[in-house]
Each structure stands twice: as C-alpha cells, then as structure tokens.
Amino acid sequence: MNCRDVIMSEDYADFIVEFASNVDAFLETYKDKCPTPIGISYGTVFEPLERALPISLARHDYQSIPKLYGEVDTISVEATGALRLQNLPGLNLKGSGTIIGIIDDGIDPYHEAFRFSDGTTRILSAWDQTNQTLEPPLAQSYGSELTRETINLELTKENSELLDSLAKNSAHGTFVAGVAAGNNNEEKSFASPAPSADLVVVKLKPAKQYLRDYYLINESAAAYQENDILSAIIYMRAVAALQQRPVIICIALGCSQGPHNGSSVMGDFLNNAAGRNGIGVVVANGNEGNARHHYSGRITGESDTVEIRVAENQNGFIIELWGESPNIFSIGVISPSGEVVNRIPAKIGATFDYTFLFENTRLSVDYRVVERRSGSELIQIRLENPTAGIWKIVVYGDNILSGEYNMWLPITNFVGMDTYFLRPDPLITLTNPADASIPISVGGYNVVTGGIFIDSSRGFTTLNEVKPNFVAPAVQVYGPGIRNTYVSRSGTSAAAALTTGVVAQFMEWGIVKNNSNSMNTAEIKNYLVRGAIRSPNTTYPNQAEGADGIIVSS
C-alpha cells in the first residue's frame, strides 16, 4: 500500500511527532512509516493498527495521539460595524485582495453566495481531504486539490462528483464561509463583512474510527483529527505565499482536552502562524459556558469529592484532571452502586485498569506526573460503558501547595448535555485552540438583548491570560445554508466567522492598500479591542466578554 492510501486507511494509526527543525532527519528516521512533515518541527507518522493498539498513555505520548475537534455551534453583520467600513467614502472595504481560509467540513460550491455574477466561482482553491480523485496539493500526500479553473469547469457540468464531494455534509463550513465572506444579497436580506475576498477551503476528512473508539465519541458527532487541521493550516499559508496575498484563517472547531493554557501542539502551531505578517488567525471560543463540563477543585483537607451525573445510554467518555506543580494529585472512584476503587497512587507513567462488577463499566486511569509540553500533572480517566447515575471521583493530594486543580469533560458535541458535573464552574470553559495566546479568540453575545450568549465559553486560561479577546454576534446569525438556502444558526462559530470577515477588511486597508504592510494578527486584535463597545456597568477584563468589550465594532 502506498503512502497516499496509508494516510487514508482505517488500518493505520496516526501519530504526531515533534522534531528539532531537521526535516531530513525526520524523514530518514521514520522512512518506513510514511513520514509526513507538518511545518518545520512537526510531522505525522503512520503505524499499522495491529501494532499501535491499544491506544493509551501507557504506550504513547499524550501529545502524539491526535486530539479530535468538533464543530462549535449548534441582527449580526450590522452590529460588527463592517457595513460602515464597506460604505464609508474613501475606504469601501470589502476584503478585496485578501484570502479567507475556512478549515471545516467543506463548502457548497454551487451556492450563489460563492459565485460571481457570471456564475464562476469565488473559491480560489479547495483541498478536499476526503477525495483521492485528483492530485493532492504540493507538499501534501493525500486528498485532492481543486483549483479555481477546475471548479469552474465542474460547474458547467450537469453532474460533478468532485463538487458533490466538496459539498457533502458541508452545512457548518458553508455557513461559516458565507457569514465571513458570502456575496451580499439584498433580496435575501443578507450581507457579509468581506464579500470581495477570495476563499480557500479545506474539507477535513472525518476522524478515523480507532480514534473515535479511543475517545468514546458518539456515532452522530462530527469529529476531525488534529494532524489534518495542522496540515490544513500549512496549506492555507502555502496558497497565500504563492499568491503573495494576506490570508485570514478561521477555525470554528474546538475540543476540551489539554491544560487550557495554550501549550498544545495546535496552540503552538497557531501562535507561529498568527505572529507572521500578512496572516490573521481567528478562533471560536466554544459553546461550553453552560454545559457544566468543567470542575474547579481545591484540596483543603484530605480529599475532594467530584460528582458526575452520567446520562442513560452513554457509551463512555474521557475526563482529564490537570494540576500545577508542585502539587501531586491521585484519585479513587466510586460507582453509582457504591462499588469503590480505592486511592490509586500517583506514579510516573502509572496505568490502572479495572472492571466494575455490578456496572460492567471499564475504568482506565493514566498518570502523567509531569506532562511533557505543559509541565503540569495529567490524570486521564476513561470510563467505558458507564452505568447511568452519579459517579464520584475522589481526588487526593500529596505535596500540596495551592491544592488547586481542574477537570474537564469532552465538549457537548461529543458527550451530550445530559452528562455533567453536579458542582460545575462555568469559567475556564474556553476550548482548545481558543486558549492560544496570539490568535484572536472570539466569544458570543446576543444582538437583540445585548447580553452574553449563554452557551459562550468563558475564560480566562489557567495561566490567567485574558481570553476571549472580545465577543461578537452569536445568536440566530443569518447566513448561507446548503442547497442555495439561507438559515439562522447560533454559536461562537458565527461570532468567529463575522470577526474573520472584519479582519479581512483590516488586511485590505493595511496590506492591500499599503497603509501598514507589516499588519498581523496582534496588530488587528489591538485595533478591534480599542474599537469595541464597553458596558459602563461592567468591569474589564472579565471572563465572559474578555479584555475590552461586548461587541466587535469599528
């Protein structure tokens, strides 16, 4: 089997490898594992599944197992001030000369929102990771790249398998792309911030089944692999470099894994991109603020008991406990029937497996006293086929200083709304990669009421860095749907999409019109926070609205 097929095959497991900026050495070291570089210091390698299983922290580094990311959504453009920038004499900013990059579930290329008046496409290029018909992009090893010429040719056909593949199951990506940069349509009462920007789209391939099984994700949830998203970012940057144009990358995906301090591989990758001139990075903050999926604990005596209500027919989930050095934590578990797993000692690299007699639930506990990238302690608790009811995690402390720790359940899309902590903390519910330092992290608010969108994830990070940076419209935002429709959706995906279009306007003013040729994410972020509207009765910064205000404005 050649490497192009290996990458797509369900019979091979993917692992992320970090190397010391020597691509040739990486390729040589892993030459028998289809090494695929991702940037200058990361790559993906592929192992036959029979050798890779079982996936666990006992056998694999935490950062090497690709995290799975889900979609973060379930009036608007006027509130951002974008229409004023479009119509202000002397500015007329509509994103001309910029590229907006959408990394998502695809796009509907037939939709009028993405076609010029003559019927040709506004999509500059697309990488369909799910389709092997055409050649992959340069420096990539799988999927098919569709150029503008290819898309225009396919649009003239009565039936196009290539475009049908790009459009299949693309409701989320179509909406995000359209809200950011769809054509203005007076008849449909729709407008976007950047209707003159070109679009570059990556349709992510679905996560492999072995990873879905490992993370115990329900069958109906869309899930995408970390390494595929990283490769998509590289593709966006390559297209922008070839075109010599600024690019704004929108990531409306998230997950609850990691220490929530920006130290993930994804966070590192996005910080690197966002710090460069001509690149904007916008990330949705997530919709976990009301999900009850975060617990903030503190050991003041011998132990702290954390209660989790588990729903009926829950196939399972992974809980992550993160604690800062020099604190050392360990756990015990009590099932709904009262069966007790006594305190499991915290040892470097320790793994514990147990099957509950009455519940028929399998428990796996992995300790990483010092997780490699963050330096924090990680306890990963995996409950497979848990009985419905109240499960208790008893947290013990050794070498306790502050005694503070955090626990997170998976995002709502992965675990549902009916499994939750009984004493949750709505703060520090921002998703990865919204915790990355340099990208613009956007929460959501309700244009009609002026209040925060109840599901919008809250900050700050565990290092107390202010996130989100601000909030934007996220409730019943109107935008393109599949099959040439227009729909309303709620979620911070919409807030990120609107902000992406506004960032394109700034890039047009700064780089395309030669007002600030070194413009980057940090500079635009500062412009936006300075122009945000602040409530006179609210203290800033705060965990709901971020640093500087409730509305992205201009």
- DSSP run (H or E) holding 421: strand 420-421
Any alpha helices (H) in 80-203, and if so which ranges? 82-87, 148-155, 161-167, 171-181
Both tokens of 444, joined, read: 């959501």
The pLDDT value given to residue 75:
35
Q: Are 458 and 428 in contact (CB under 8 A)?
A: yes
* Widest Cα–Cα separation across the chain: 74
Q: Are 104 and 526 in contact (CB under 8 A)?
A: no
DSSP letter (8 states) at residue 262: S
Q: Are 64 and 58 in contact (CB under 8 A)?
A: no
The pLDDT value given to residue 86:
53
Both tokens of 522, joined, read: 């940090």
Q: For residues 474 and 472, what is the distance between their CA atoms, to the nearest angstrom?
A: 6
Q: For residues 417 and 291, what is the distance between their CA atoms, to the nearest angstrom?
A: 6
Q: For residues 66 and 515, what is the distance between their CA atoms, to the nearest angstrom?
A: 40
pLDDT of the chain, 554 residues: tens digit per residue: 799 999 999 999 999 999 987 899 999 999 999 999 998 889 999 999 999 999 999 999 999 999 999 998 763 344 444 444 455 444 579 999 999 999 999 999 999 999 999 999 999 999 999 999 999 999 899 999 999 999 999 999 999 999 999 999 999 999 999 999 999 999 999 999 999 999 999 999 999 999 999 999 988 899 999 999 999 999 999 999 999 999 999 999 999 999 999 999 999 999 999 999 999 999 999 999 999 999 999 998 889 999 999 999 999 999 999 998 889 999 999 999 999 999 999 887 778 999 998 888 999 999 999 898 888 999 999 999 999 999 999 999 988 888 999 999 999 999 999 999 999 999 999 999 999 999 999 999 998 888 899 999 999 999 999 999 999 999 999 999 999 999 999 999 999 999 999 999 999 999 999 999 999 999 999 888 877 777 777 777 778 766 544 444 33
Q: Are 269 and 39 in contact (CB under 8 A)?
A: yes
From the list 280, 252, 282, 238, the residue with the least C-alpha distance to 98 is 280
Contacts of 326 (CB under 8 A, 6+ apart): 399, 401
Both tokens of 150, joined, read: 């290819």
- DSSP run (H or E) holding 445: strand 440-445
Report CA-CA distances (Å) from 540 to 115, 159, 249, 334, 543. Answer: 42, 54, 27, 41, 9
- DSSP run (H or E) holding 145: strand 144-147
Chain centroid, CA 33 distance in Å:
27
Identify any residues that bridge with 362 across adjacent strands, giving them in sequence order.
355, 384
Identify any residues that bridge with 485 across adjacent strands, giving them in sequence order.
481
The pLDDT value given to residue 537:
72
From the list 271, 182, 240, 264, the residue with the least C-alpha distance to 431 is 264
The pLDDT value given to residue 74:
60
Any alpha helices (H) in 435-520, and if so which ranges? 492-507
List, as own/partner pairs, every contact residues 136-145 make where C-beta atoms lie below 8 angstroms and the sequence separation is at least 24, other chains included: 136/4, 137/235, 137/238, 138/238, 139/37, 139/234, 139/238, 140/231, 140/234, 140/235, 141/3, 141/4, 141/7, 141/34, 141/36, 142/4, 142/7, 142/8, 142/205, 143/205
Helix (H, G, I), strand (E, B) or coil at 507: helix
Tell me the one-letter amino acid at 351.
Answer: T
Helix (H, G, I), strand (E, B) or coil at 403: coil
The pLDDT value given to residue 493:
96
